[in-house]
Amino acid sequence: MTRTQLAGGVFLTYLPAKKFKTSLLSAQFVVPLKWETASANALLGSILRRGTVSCPDMGALAQRLDQLYGARIDGTVRKKGESQCVGFVASLIDDSFAPGGERLLEPAASLLGELICHPVTRDGLFLEEYFESEKTNLIDAIRSILNDKRSYADSRLLQEICTGEPYGVPRLGNEQITAALHPQLLFDAYQEMDAYRELISTARLEIFYSGSAERSRVEDALRSALADLPRKDIAPPPERTPSGAWRAFFPPWTNFYSGRAAGRTRWPPCWSTTSSSTRPLWTSPGMANCASCSTPTTTGCTSSPLRPFRWKAGFRRPAASTVRF
């Protein structure tokens, strides 16, 4: 697997694979999660999927995809850490299985580029009917989370734990914010076009390809497809800082999250100084730190007044080399 930069803020991750009958091509704009923009970005992805200048409706898009032997391009809205990923995922027959050795990568990449760079518009604005339709669908999708109690509980937990932090923002945004995006249709549609231009010109674009095509061919196809992609001041990736969820499950007295960025193991340095039958355990809050490794006092530290813990029969001790963050 290799990662190369195609343009300013545009990166390609290439994973060669010749054992599958289909190829995967994904393009994702990565932006920081914010309450103010999460709903607008999620709505933009749905509107862009409705059509292009050459294929102005879903019927024309379906016909174009049928010419690629039933290829699929689906819009995606994902949440990865404190970033929101908005884009498309294309699945198509791998060129090695196409009839007559026909090449499908280039037309699929071209269509993907059209969806991103040349959406269907009217007088410089998104089509009103597409806009209202996708807005209703987004509100319905946000409301439907209530029907999945596990997902709803998880979402509410993160919102409470990470209050005021990007990690607590849902990937689809908020129903109230979504409904309030457009008090006046034309003005809000114009605002949305500004949001679209801001997204495609400043957000980092991550492209992933997995298939049998050579890397040079994939790069050439993508450069040609995204030739009209505007690029200016690219937003830097967000800093990886401990979130509220991390602090909630691993409070400060454990020193778990403080060593996360440095790649430290879960266990303190004194782990390696103890025997295999007296591995240290983390103690409760309020206990003094270990004098030798500056971590909370553990039952295996030499400075601990507690009796060392011994693993009982049937207990499987995790290996120190595999328990990492």
Whether 242 maps to a domain, the answer reads no
Could you tell me if residue 189 is inside a domain?
yes
Q: Does the pLDDT of residue 16 top 90, yes or no? A: yes
Same domain, 143 and 268: no
Residues 97/106, Cβ–Cβ less than 8 Å = no
Q: What is the tally of structural domains in the chain?
A: 2
| Range of weakest confidence among 100-114, 176-190, 281-295 | 281-295
What is the mean pLDDT of the segment spanning 179-204?
62
Residues 143 and 281 both lie in one domain: no
Q: Are residues 127 and 265 in the same domain?
A: no
95-124 confidence digits (pLDDT tens): 889 888 899 999 999 999 999 999 888 877
Name the token pair of 155. 């979402």
* Residue 312, pLDDT above cutoff 90: no
Q: Are residues 137 and 272 in the same domain?
A: no
Rg (the chain; Cα; Å)? 25
- Is 241 within a domain? no
CB under 8 Å to 213, separation ≥6 — which residues? 23, 95, 105
pTM of the shown model: 0.69
Instruction: Please check whether residues 35 and 155 belong to one and the same domain.
Output: yes
- Same domain, yes or no: 140 and 210: yes
pLDDT of residue 127: 85
* CATH number (domain holding residue 118): 3.30.830.10
More confident residue, 222 or 243: 222
Q: Quick one: which H or E segment has residue 30? A: strand 22-32
Q: Within this chain, do residues 276 and 198 fall inside the same structural domain, yes or no?
A: no
Whether 146 maps to a domain, the answer reads yes
Tell me, yes or no, whether 44 lies in a domain.
yes
For residues 153 and 14, membership in a common domain is answered with yes
**Does residue 232 fall inside a structural domain?**
no
Same-domain status, 202 and 272:
no
- Say whether both 216 and 311 belong to one domain: no
Cα angle vertex 303, ends 299, 304, to 5°? 30
Residue range 247-281, pLDDT digits in tens: 444 444 344 333 333 343 334 444 444 444 443 44
Query: Can you give the residue range of the structural domain that contains 114?
Result: 2-225
In a domain, 12, yes or no: yes
